[in-house]
Amino acid sequence: MRKNESAENYLETILMLKNKNGAVRSIDIVRQLDYSKPSVSHAMSLLREKGHITMNKEGWIELTESGRAIAEKIYERHCLLTKWLVQLGVSEEVAAEDACKLEHDISEETFEKMKAHIERQVPASKAD
């Protein structure tokens, strides 16, 4: 996994956990991703250094503006690509796994063209 991809995955996970639980700590990320505590701790340090997250004394993690922007971009890609692959007949599990791979590698231009195409093909009620 590339460095950027790893950071994007962590930020996306923080966003998803925050939306689901209202608050996030490193242990929540450990459990969600099934990574080791030292790996997550190291990643959180790097994300703090880059200004993508803040962490208070109690260990609660918040996305900064830049972290939230990255997380939302990746999460949008993940959701759209997963739904599209499912529409093509791919199983939900495989679609989610494949979307996770695709979301990091396609260009902004390609994603926007795919998004426009998918939205034309799949009615809004089915795409949400």
Identify the burial level of 24 via C-beta atoms within 10 angstroms of its C-beta, where 0-12 means exposed, 13-18 middle and 19 or more buried: buried
Domain match, 49 and 88 both: no
Domain range holding 74? 69-127
Give the pLDDT confidence score for residue 118 in this predicted structure.
85
Please give the Cα distance from 118 to 23 (Å, whole number): 33
Give the pLDDT confidence score for residue 123 in this predicted structure.
60
Domain match, 60 and 91 both: no
- Say if residues 66 and 49 touch (Cβ distance below 8 Å): no
- Does 128 have pLDDT greater than 60? no
Q: At 27, which CATH number?
A: 1.10.10.10
Domain match, 56 and 84 both: no
Final residue of a structural domain among 65, 85, 113: 65
Domain match, 79 and 45 both: no
- The count of structural domains within the chain is 2
Q: At 109, which CATH number?
A: 1.10.60
Final residue of a structural domain among 14, 31, 65: 65
- The number of beta carbons lying within 10 Å of the beta carbon of residue 31 is 12
Note the pLDDT tens digit of each residue in 97-122.
999 889 988 999 999 999 998 888 76
Mean pLDDT to the nearest integer, 34-46: 96
Confidence of residue 68 (pLDDT cuts 50, 70, 90): very high
Give the pLDDT confidence score for residue 119 in this predicted structure.
84
Determine the 3-state secondary structure of 54 from DSSP: strand
Note the pLDDT tens digit of each residue in 11-35.
999 999 999 999 999 999 999 999 9
Domain match, 57 and 104 both: no
Mean pLDDT to the nearest integer, 48-73: 96
Final residue of a structural domain among 20, 35, 65: 65
Angle 35-38-41 from CA coordinates, rounded to 5°: 95
Alpha-helix residue ranges (DSSP H) falling in the chain:
3-21, 26-33, 37-49, 65-87, 92-105, 108-121, 124-127
Give the pLDDT confidence score for residue 121 in this predicted structure.
78
Domain match, 52 and 73 both: no
Can you say how many angstroms the Cα of residue 22 is from the centroid of all Cα atoms in its chain? 16
User: What value does the mean pLDDT of the chain take?
Assistant: 91
